[in-house]
A = this chain, B = another copy of it.
Amino acid sequence: MGALNDRVLTVCRELAGHGIGGMLITDLANIRYLTGFTGSSARLFLTGKGGYLLTDSRYKLQGAAELKGRPAVRLRVCKSAYGELGKLVERAGVKKLGFEGSSLSYDAYLALKKAFKGVGFKSIPGLVEARRVVKDKAEVRAIRRAIAVAQKGFESVEDCDVLKMTEVGLANHIESVVKGAGAESMSFSTIVASAKRTALPHAMPTGRAIKKGFLTVDMGVSLGGYKSDETRTFVVGEPTRRQREVYGVVKEAHDRAIDAVSAGVGASEIDRAARSVIKKAGYGRNFGHGTGHGVGINVHERPGVGPKSKDVLEEGMVITIEPGIYIPGWGGVRIEDMVLVKGRGCEVLTEGLQELRILR
């Protein structure tokens, strides 16, 4: 609770440096990070001294409960957020109001501009996101809890008679296992793809029966607001030589990328470590996505771990390492782990099932 109060005040103190007297936070993940509020409708108005959380009557009780013990943020339940905001902006004497241009829509920006004549506006990109990239101890604990629950889902695949199941059936089974183990929700729609469909990196499960060949499961759990994100590629039945070879290339790329992770290293270097292995093996064209991304309150957040990323890794970042090879009409492999960046090296948070696992 105290930590959350400090988070808000730290951001409040930064406003003057951006040349703004107030800041409107509209991204719900940022609002949750700063205040602990978990409702689906809120705006957070910050001045140099503290904030006001504006929400509607549905969240009156919940808002009061979630903000308890956090004096830096006061709750305002209102029918018209802009009306209430106008009063607060005027009372605080704000001449220039910062806003989240990446979260606020163009139309909402126009409406804001129209509602507050005489106030200047300035998009401040990534103000809160910059603080969210490095996770504190409580956040790492929350991520570990989400991962521990997700592991039960992945492990449950090995106990399934998958050749008697459909892709959707296996996805449902995994989700019921993790929900039974305490998952509040899934980080995203669980991906289960069998055989040739593993060549689709983001295949939604179908009602088709699982067949022999690769079986990709990309699944994550949300717990206490924090997410996990992990992919395992199994083989159903005896793997062919080419299946073993492709899996081996992806595993090698994965391992080299993890070896490269350390505070101070450019994220693009991590991507290069994975990509060079896949290119050398002749599959460069079959690895179309980046090597990873940050994970926290959002399942995709900064830093980006791709060829063009300009982010530099810092101790306490949590990122995925997820190289893959996708061969249309044949199949594909992706191995995705979450790692915690350390001062030297990293810790793999999602241990287990990285080696080729054969389901029979």
Contacts and interface: CB of A to CB of B under 8 A. Distances in A.
A181 B39 CA distance: 29
Given A106-B109, A172-B176, A179-B172, A62 B185 contact: no
24 contacts: A38-B204, A40-B202, A56-B288, A56-B289, A57-B288, A57-B289, A58-B201, A58-B202, A59-B200, A60-B288, A62-B202, A62-B203, A99-B106, A101-B106, A101-B107, A101-B110, A104-B105, A168-B184, A172-B176, A175-B176, A175-B179, A176-B176, A176-B179, A185-B189
A182 to B, nearest CB: 7
Contacts of A184: 168, 189, 204
Contacts of A108: 102, 106
Contacts of A189: 184-185
Nearest to A186: B185
Contacts of A83: none
A105 B110 CA distance: 11
Contacts of A328: 60-61
A82 to B, nearest CB: 14
A199 interface: yes
Contacts of A156: none
Nearest to A125: B107
B105 A39 contact: no
B102 A123 contact: no
Interface string A165-188: 000100110011001101011100
Contacts of A57: 288-289
A123 B103 contact: no
Contacts of A109: 106
Interface in A120-154: 123, 125
A65 to B, nearest CB: 9
Interface in A33-80: 38-40, 56-62
Nearest to A189: B185
Contacts of A107: 101-102, 123, 125
Contacts of A123: 106-107, 110
A186 B171 CA distance: 13
